[in-house]
Structure 1
């Protein structure tokens, strides 16, 4: 096996999704920080790895992949000792895929509609309708949690993907146990993973602090 290299920045939720997956699989990897302020994502070298110049990017055996959901699935398919994190059973996998698409198409998309104007155009006034969409996403997650985990009775890459997104939500909307008790319990359950702080907690804290500063909140 060649060296696995992950390119990204820890405050990015999609990057943290991949970090959680790598740690869960107990894989050796090198993490290379991509400095966006210095426009390292726009260099010719980086664009050869990913013409969309986004993170995360995974380099493995000379091949480059981007999009956290695709990377997480790839890692489990290639390196997982079993299929627990990404089941091969058609129905179970379909549920995991649905949750992954929900993250990319709803949760993360709605969050990015707030964060992108903040960082790109310094727009600090967040319209109420954008906040309402974040809250709607949290309500949907509460309804998904029929079992202990996002896609069923066992932990999957869907948990990693959604966890990395919603733990950054706190900067904009509170995740309230009175309103979404199952969601709060799930976050607490996931935070007990031995690699949680390294793979998600530290980066989420940086992201929350930065977002709150941008929004003028404490």
Structure 2
């Protein structure tokens, strides 16, 4: 299956780590957003919102990283796969954490660091406050827990890991959130696909330094 992606993108990296965890081989297609590749007619046919990542599986196109990783786990994961278990309550918790990542933690990153890079918008105190608040929530989720949504690695950990590692290269200091720091150090050593995720983070760091 094809994955249209940009290595620096946290959502793209979440998909790559999920595929690694599931043992799925991706045909990765670099999409040069800076050259307008996402606006070409052939790409718009796949994804009219012209975002990355976009997954094409045997003619079926899906975008939005959290939707992609759930699709991959549901279609290719084993019935007892802890990444996205069959239990409705466990799935509900994982989904909540995924929505938290999308709408709170990653959104705060986008509003601060991505908009600063794209439009030279300053990171004001209000944006920093939203980031701090998001990390406080994540720290609470991880109280007395190794993982964010139960007792095993799940899709939520991988998605949040892609986001938190982006904060690291953006030089946001989250060390004061002890539970987050502990969780992060553990996943850096154990998460499938971490090395490729970190390589993408370093690409992003180069962009931020321009």
In the aligned structure 1, how far is the partner of 2:38 from the partner of 2:2?
Answer: 15
When structure 1 is superposed on structure 2, of 200-209 and 26-35 the one drifting more is: 200-209
Residue among 24, 28, 31 paired with 2:28: 31
Who is 2:165 aligned against?
167
Residue among 88, 91, 107 paired with 1:90: 88
SS in 2 for 1:37: helix
In the aligned structure 1, how far is the partner of 2:171 from the partner of 2:105?
Answer: 13
Residue among 133, 136, 141 paired with 1:139: 136
Check if 1:115 corresponds to 2:113: yes
Who is 1:156 aligned against?
154
SS in 2 for 1:138: helix
In the aligned structure 1, how far is the partner of 2:202 from the partner of 2:134?
Answer: 21
Q: Which runs of 5+ in 1 are unaligned?
A: none
Residue among 27, 39, 51 paired with 2:48: 51
Following superposition, which runs of at least 4 residues in structure 1 exceed 4 angstroms of deviation? none
1:52 is displaced (CA, Å) by 0.3
Task: Provide the aligned length of Structure 1 versus Structure 2.
Answer: 206
SS in 1 for 2:181: helix
Deviations 1:50-102 (A, max 9, x none): 00000000000111000100100000111012331011211111100100000
SS in 2 for 1:32: strand
Who is 2:98 aligned against?
100
Check if 1:20 corresponds to 2:17: yes
Larger helix fraction of residues: 2
In the aligned structure 2, how far is the partner of 1:208 from the partner of 1:152?
Answer: 31
Q: Which runs of 5+ in 2 are unaligned?
A: none
In the aligned structure 1, how far is the partner of 2:113 from the partner of 2:139?
Answer: 23
In the aligned structure 2, how far is the partner of 1:175 from the partner of 1:209?
Answer: 21
**8 A contact 1:77–1:83 mirrored in 2:** no
CA RMSD of aligned residues (A): 1.3
In the aligned structure 1, how far is the partner of 2:181 from the partner of 2:103?
Answer: 22
Who is 1:201 aligned against?
198
Residue among 147, 162, 187 paired with 2:184: 187
1:173 is displaced (CA, Å) by 1.7
Q: How does 1:64-83 map to 2 (within 5 A)?
A: 64-81=61-78, 82-83=80-81
Q: Tell me the TM-score normalised to structure 2 length.
A: 0.94
Q: Tell me the TM-score normalised to structure 1 length.
A: 0.90
In the aligned structure 2, how far is the partner of 1:135 from the partner of 1:207?
Answer: 21
